Amino acid sequence: MTSERVRLKPGPVASHLLLACLALAVIFPFIWMVATALKPDAEIFAQPPSLIGSQVRWGNFVQAWNYVPFGRFMLNGFLVASLGSVVVLATSALAGYAFARVPFRGREALFVAYLGTLMVPQEVTVIPLFLLMKQLGWVNSYQSLILPWAFTAFGTFLMRQFFLTIPRELEDAARIDGASRLRILWSVMVPLATPALGVLAVFTFINYWNSFLWPLIIVNSQDVATVPLGLNMFHGQYSTAWNYLMAASTISMLPSVLLVIVLQRYLVQGIALTGFGGR
């Protein structure tokens, strides 16, 4: 009799079964999405519904890709999300380091002012931002999608908190050798802060990728539309082509799903890090 055997009592088995059912229910909308994406037009609302239609039409994905310029939306999304993440990381690391380590007058007051704006909802700024972008002639442009969200109090806060946990002695050695602050930040602090930078990069990328309200306001051209906006345009134009729409939706989810699968081991720590630092 091994302990493994003993553990297979009815209680735990039922618990695992129930959990499996719940998990299936939670991912079922995704299964239904893919199932619908592969069905022939006439069978989308077939009664009774079935997961697999009379044919499995992989061609629907090609159709969806061609129906609207979905490749373009993906490219735009990648461009906006990656460039945005780079700017967020660079400016947050610089400012976070200054707040954590470089002494200057009024540092605490300025930091508190930064923190105060964390509470301001995005909705408060979008109308003036729209007017500003119009003034600058930036409506329907990549910079209008990237720049307003690239200088964040959140990133600065996150990086400052993380830099504060790095022992001072590690940079003291470099300072005695006469290294500049920038050099210390780049070759001592940044390597030590990869967990925080990684979390910030992933969160920023996903936020840009999924962002909807702002692109809806500032972009109405297919040339610069990001993926959620493209899906919405698709929905507006071909609202009954559910199989193509679901094919496009499936594609739109791939980057986020891949990121989560690759980073699954760090999910809990990552969220704890962004959320409540020490506690």
Partner 1 sequence: MPALAREQALPAGVARPRRRRARREGLTAFGFLLPNGLGFLLFTLVPIVTSLALSFFAWPLTSSPTFVGADNYVTLLTRDRVFHQVLFNTLYYVFVYVPLNLVVSLGLAVWLSGRVRGANLFRVLFFLPVVTPMVANALVWSLMYQPREGLFDWLLAAVHLPGPNWLGSFEWAMPSVIAMSVWAGFGYNLMVFTAGLRAIPRDLYDAAAVDGATRWQQFWRVTLPLLTPSLFFALVLTLISSFQVFTQPYVLTGGGPADRTTTLVLSMFDNAFQFYRMGYASAIAWFLFVLIMLVTATQFLSQRRWVHYDL
Contacts with partner 1 in 115-134 (CB under 8 A)? 117, 119-132
Which residue in the set 181, 186, 201, 222 belongs to the binding site for partner 1 (CB under 8 A)? Answer: 181
Q: CB-wise, 56 or 127, nearer to partner 1? A: 127
Q: CB-wise, 192 or 277, nearer to partner 1? A: 277
Shortest CB 196 distance to partner 1, Å: 15
CA distances from 120 to 70, 115, 152, 165 (A): 34, 10, 12, 27
187 binds partner 1 (CB under 8 A): no
Contacts with partner 1 in 64-93 (CB under 8 A)? 90-92
- The three-class DSSP label of residue 168 is coil
Contacts with partner 1 in 146-165 (CB under 8 A)? 147-153, 156
- Which candidate, 227, 219, 196, 195, places its Cα nearest to that of 81? 227
Q: How many CB atoms neighbour CB 202 within 10 A?
A: 20
Question: Per residue in 248-275, is it b (16+ CB within 10 Å) or e — as a string?
Answer: bbbbbeebeeeeeeeeeeeeeebeebbe
Contacts with partner 1 in 195-224 (CB under 8 A)? 206, 209-210, 212-213, 216-217
Interface with partner 1 by CB under 8 A: which range of 53-61, 62-70, 101-109, 190-198? 101-109
108 binds partner 1 (CB under 8 A): no
227 binds partner 1 (CB under 8 A): yes
Which DSSP string corresponds to 83-122?
Answer: HHHHHHHHHHHHHHHHHHH---TTHHHHHHHHHHGGGS-H
Which residue in the set 10, 103, 137, 167 belongs to the binding site for partner 1 (CB under 8 A)? Answer: 103
